[in-house]
Amino acid sequence: MNINYSQFYRGTTNIPSYGAGPYKKDTLVKYMFNTKDAHGNKIRDKMSKEETLQAMKDIRSGYGDTVIVEFSGDGMAALVESKKSSLVPEDQEAMEEKNAAFQKEITQVDNSLKGLPTYSGMYGADKTIASVLENCGKEEREFVYSIIRQNFLVENCGSMTEEERQANISLGMKKAEYAAESFVSKASRNSFLEAMESIAKLASAGTEDRSGNMDYRVAKGKYLGHGGKMIQTTDSLDMMERMDKDAYAEYCNIRKNDDDGLSSLKYLTNWCQKVGQESPSMVDEYEKLSREYLEKNVKNQKLDKTFAGLETGSKAAFFESLKMFQNSNPNFLSSILNQELASKFWGY
C-alpha cells in the first residue's frame, strides 16, 4: 500500500559536505511523526513496530546516497518510551528490555549526524566552542557536540522524568569538564567551560510539552562558515513560527500537501520579502526576545549537581566513577548511563 508521507516532512537543510565517493553527505531531510499537534490535540495513533520500519524504509528509498534522513516524534514506535515514573519496577524492566532489543533493529537518526556541529542559538557560546574545537581531532569534536545534543539540548525528553532530565544535564557538564582537562588547550579552558555552562543553563530552563518535545525559547542557531570565522544569520522559518503564527500555520498547511517542497519554499521566500518591505524591524524584535529570555530565565539558572562527584582526571577515572554511580543507583537514568558506558569514546 502506497502512503503519502509528505504531511510528515519538516524541511530540507544543506549541510557542510563531508565524506567522499559513495559516503559523501551534503543534505539533511527531516520527518516528524507526532501523535498530537502543538496544542495537544490528538492527530494520529502511534505506529506499530512494523509500520515504523516500513515508513523509514519507504522514505529513505526516495532519496539518494548523499542525503541523511532524520526521523523524530512520539508517533514512531522506536522513539516511544513511557515515562519511568509511571511504571512499576517489573514493568519498567520489561519495557527497557523490549526497547533495547528493538533499538538493535532500527536507527532513529543516521549515525553520520554525530560528526556534525550542534548549536544552541547563543552565538557567543557557539562560536567559542567552535573556535576551541578547530584544533581538536574528529573524535574530540564529536564528543563535545554529542554533549550538547545528548545531554543538554535533547529534542524530546518524554522518556525521562524532570529529575532525570536535569541530572542528564549535570552529566553533560562533567563530561565537559573532562574535555577541558583532557584535550582543550589551557588558554581556552575557562572560556570553553563558560560556554558549555551557558548552554547547560539554557537546557535546564527548557520547557516540555505533553508529547515530551522540548522548547528552549531562543532563536535557532544558523551560521555561515565555521570555527573562529563563524557568522550568525537568521533562521527565517523559526522567526516565522515565533513572530507570525498565522503565516506559519499557512506554511504548515502548504507543506502538508507539498511533495517536492517547492511550494512551501516559495511561500517562505515571499514571506521573507514581505517582512523586509513591511516589517523591517521584525528581525531585531525576534532577536530581542531571545536576549530578554536569556537575561531573565537563563543567566542565573542553577544547575543540578547529581554527577558532581564524578572523576574527570582521565578516561579510566571518569568511566569507573560513572560505573560506581550506576551500581549505587541502578534504576536511575539507566538507559542514558548504559549508552554512555557503552560509548566507544571511553574505550571499555
DSSP line for 245-314: HHHHHHHHHHHHT-SSSHHHHHHHHHHHHHHHHH-TTHHHHHHHHHHHHIIIIITTPPPP-TTTT---SS
Residue type, 178: Y
CB 159 within 8 Å of CB 98 = no
Question: Domain spans of the chain?
Answer: 1-108, 117-348
The model's pTM is 0.67
Query: Within 13 Å and on the Cβ side, how many CA atoms surround 44?
Result: 15
Q: What is the pLDDT of residue 32?
A: 83
Average pLDDT, rounded, for the chain: 83
Which tens digits make up the pLDDT trace of 266-325? 899 999 999 999 999 999 999 999 999 999 999 999 999 999 999 999 999 999 999 999
The C-alpha atoms of residue 23 and residue 186 are separated, in whole angstroms, by 36
Residue 223 backbone dihedrals phi, psi, to 5 degrees: -135, 155
The proportion of the chain whose per-residue pLDDT surpasses 70, expressed as a percent, equals: 81
The C-alpha atoms of residue 204 and residue 200 are separated, in whole angstroms, by 6
Sign (positive/negative) of CA torsion 18, 22, 26, 31? negative
Q: What is the pLDDT of residue 100?
A: 53
Which tens digits make up the pLDDT trace of 109-128? 444 455 578 899 999 999 99
CB 264 within 8 Å of CB 258 = yes
Q: Kindly indicate the confidence band of residue 87, based on its pLDDT and cuts at 50, 70 and 90.
A: very low
